[in-house]
Amino acid sequence: MSDKAILTCALTGVLTNPQKHPVPVTPEELAASAKEAFDAGASIVHVHFRMQQEGLGHLPSWEPEVARACNDAIRDACPGIIFNMTTGVIGEDVSGPIACMKEIEPEIAACNAGSLNYLKTRSDGSWAWPPMVFDNPVSKIQEMLDAMAQTNSKPEFECFDVGIVRSIELFVQAGMASHPEYNFVMGVDSGMPCDTDLLELLVGYRLPESPWQVTAIGRQEIWPIHQKTAELGGHLRTGVEDTFYLPDGEKTSGNGQLIEALAQCARNSGREIASPEEARVMLGLRD
């Protein structure tokens, strides 16, 4: 088990409405929220970029100048912090994420490692949104990995289901990747559930000695997963992209409170929190 836990804050997410939830959108808001998380122990921020026009802050942006403004504001507010950039898009056109990667050269880039029927129903049985496929065929993954190699960004493989977890080893065997970092995404209704028994199995399906973390999506029920992750030696991630609820069921005021609770999970298991400098060494990142 890793003695120290690396904390990641998922600052904002892809579509959450900032008019309804405490989700930062502007570079200034992202920097302030990142600083709260940084002060609470986060070494890494996972960042989605949003459209900056009035009334459009709930929509994603792939404008390189937006990425640059967000990157610079966060790094100015949090010296030494590690930047983890989303790359998730629907469809074949990956020019937007690649342009943003080339603009800011993040230390880490999320690499969605397989396709998923992305589904959710309401209490009356109707679809919460039209059924959709989050498509990530191998050709698309390879294009993303090639761009990450060009920008010296370490891929973090996002795994939404057990078969995707197992695919990472095949990527390594095929020469697409080496020394992978796993992110087990749990809590999407049509993906892996937030289940501590399942988590114990997943850890065994990764390549030995590979770093891993969990993205737990949901409400108060996610916190036992975070605690089990800490106990099993994984690294820890939360933020308003993933939840708005603290362990006691209260709604969070923002990312700082969530990272404070996440740090407590690490300490409950006898682990200390890694600094950004320590996290860089542990994950094999560039300085």
Least confident of 14-23, 72-81, 110-119, 141-150: 14-23
SS (H, E, C) 19-37: CCCCCCCCHHHHHHHHHHH
β-sheet bridge partners, residue 82 = 44
Q: What is the mean pLDDT of the chain?
A: 96
The encoded tokens of residue 139 equal 């050709």
Rounded CA separation 283/84 (Å): 12
Domain housing 127: 4-283
Q: Which pLDDT band holds residue 92 (cuts at 50, 70, 90)?
A: very high
What is the arithmetic mean of pLDDT over 30-41?
A: 98
**pLDDT the model gives residue 81:** 98
Q: Is the pLDDT of residue 18 over 90?
A: no
* Residues 143-173 pLDDT 10s: 999 999 999 999 999 999 999 999 999 999 9
Looking at the structure of the chain, the number of domains it has is: 1
Q: Looking at residues 233-243, what average pLDDT do you find?
A: 97
pTM: 0.96
Task: Give me the torsion for CA of 198, 200, 203, 205, rounded to 10°.
Answer: -60
178: region left, alpha or beta (phi > 0 left; psi from -120 to 50 alpha):
beta
pLDDT at 91 over 60: yes
Q: What was the pLDDT predicted at 2?
A: 58
Q: What is the mean pLDDT of residues 200-215?
A: 97
Query: How confident is the model at residue 21, as a pLDDT?
Result: 84
Measured distance CA(275)–CA(38) in Å, rounded: 10
Residues of the chain with pLDDT > 70: what percent? 99
Residue 41 pLDDT more than 80? yes
Q: What would the two tokens of residue 161 be?
A: 């289901």
Is a pLDDT exceeding 70 seen at residue 111? Answer: yes
pLDDT of amino acid 20: 84
3 state SS of 155: strand
What's the mean pLDDT in 216-228? 97
Average pLDDT over residues 107-120: 97
> What pLDDT shows up at residue 141?
98
Which of 282, 279, 283 has the alpha carbon at shortest distance from 41? 279
CATH number of residue 99's parent domain: 3.20.20.70
Average pLDDT over residues 203-213: 96
| pLDDT given at position 57 | 82
